[in-house]
Amino acid sequence: MVKRSWTEVRLETLVSNYRIYRSLVPKEQRVMAVVKADAYGHGDTATALALQKEGVTDFAVSNITEAVGLRKVGIRGQILILGYTPPENAKDLVTYKITQALLSESYAEKMADKGITAQFAIDTGMNRIGLDADDPAACERIIRAYRDRFTLTGMFTHFCVADTPAEDAFTDAQKAKFFAVADRVKDLEFPCVHCMNSAGGLWHNAAGEGDLVRLGIILYGLKPDCENTLPEGIRPALSWKSVVSLLKTVHPGETIGYGRTYRAEADRVIATVPTGYADGYNRLISNNGYVMIKGQRAPVVGRVCMDQMTVDVTGIPGVAEGDEVVLLGEGLDADEMASWVGSIGYEVLCDIGKRVERRYVN
């Protein structure tokens, strides 16, 4: 363990978030854990294994590399790839028993007759992947045409505004379009017909529609949209920490860092922190955010560098070199950090770099 820049993921919190969410979803629906992008930066192996122990049998990822990685560490249930797998990698889908999303009719044709287990993506308004639900007859024709050329286990769609109450009518329309397609092929008795993301599963799921709910961001303790209110007890599972590598006082008129973007007006006590944009700490936080030291806010002053940054600890008594610095954690979550840079908590988490050591704590 090198105490330079590291994350601490509390698996207990992930499990507790899962249990709370699980308790709010109708019992008849399974909860599929969305662990794409290395479980939103939390580490997909540790996350998936902890949830498998909790009884989770369905996982979703974005690509074949992630899927095979999970199989190799012992994830046994369904692993669904939500996006594109190049046709030349089709045999890995079969070898590792991975379920592939079928993105379009032409993609299905390229992947057919290879023994692949698959589910059709249905496009109900996202306009990204899937068969066009505005033509349900064509969807039905395609699904029936391919049912014997794959092991077809179902279909799914994705909501684009399920986290936005002002857009509820659009989500309702997406749901209606999806089930209009699903109803046309009801006789095929697919076991995996699903449309809910984290937000949908909580706020558009009163009737428990679909066989499963795809739980992503709320598993990790963050909001789908910054305006949302999360269920009681859901908390971020990840903290990101660094240390004070040096303390110094800068005097009036002196500047800090590249571009001399910060100028001291009075004596300021400055702490250098060995985390930078190469660790995924967004450079737009330059002079535009803060870290926590000893439970207090220390503003980022000057530009965030590749490997280091500088923060103002003038008002915080007793700071010493080697002290822990909280970049994300108690009192400062990824949703707030995202607001400084015009992004979303999802991106903040996914951006945490590979060279930031991952630790698991309880």
Ligand X SMILES: *Cc1c(COP(=O)(O)O)cnc(C)c1O
Q: Which stretch binds ligand X (CB under 6 A): 49-57, 210-218, 258-266, 325-333?
A: 210-218
Lookup: tokens for 113: 């007759």
Residue nearest to ligand X (CB): 216
Interaction between residue 125 and ligand X (CB under 6 A): no
Interaction between residue 133 and ligand X (CB under 6 A): no
Counting Cα atoms < 13 Å in the Cβ hemisphere of 102 gives 28
Number of residues located near ligand X, criterion CB under 6 A: 11
* Helix intervals (H) in the chain: 11-24, 36-40, 44-53, 64-72, 90-95, 105-111, 136-146, 168-184, 198-203, 334-341, 345-351
Query: How far apart are CB 222 and ligand X at their closest, in Å?
Result: 9
Question: For residues 43 and 224, which CB has a smaller minimum distance to ligand X in the complex?
Answer: 224
Binding ligand X (rule: CB under 6 A), the pick from 77, 210, 221, 224 is 224
The SS3 call for residue 46 is helix
Query: How far apart are CB 162 and ligand X at their closest, in Å?
Result: 8
Looking at 3, 248, 258, 354, which residue is catalytic? Answer: 258
The SS3 call for residue 218 is helix
**Does the active-site annotation cover 258?**
yes
Query: How far apart are CB 196 and ligand X at their closest, in Å?
Result: 8
User: Is 279 within 8 Å of 252 (Cβ atoms)?
Assistant: no
Q: How far apart are the C-alpha atoms of 175 and 1, rounded to whole Å?
A: 47
The residues in 184-203 that bind ligand X, with binding defined as CB under 6 A, are 197-199
Interaction between residue 175 and ligand X (CB under 6 A): no
Of 244, 187, 191, 198, the closest CA to residue 222 belongs to: 198
Q: How far apart are the C-alpha atoms of 237 and 204, rounded to whole Å?
A: 25
Interaction between residue 216 and ligand X (CB under 6 A): yes
**Does the active-site annotation cover 223?**
no
Residues contributing to the site for ligand X (CB under 6 A): 34, 36, 82, 158, 197-199, 214, 216-217, 224
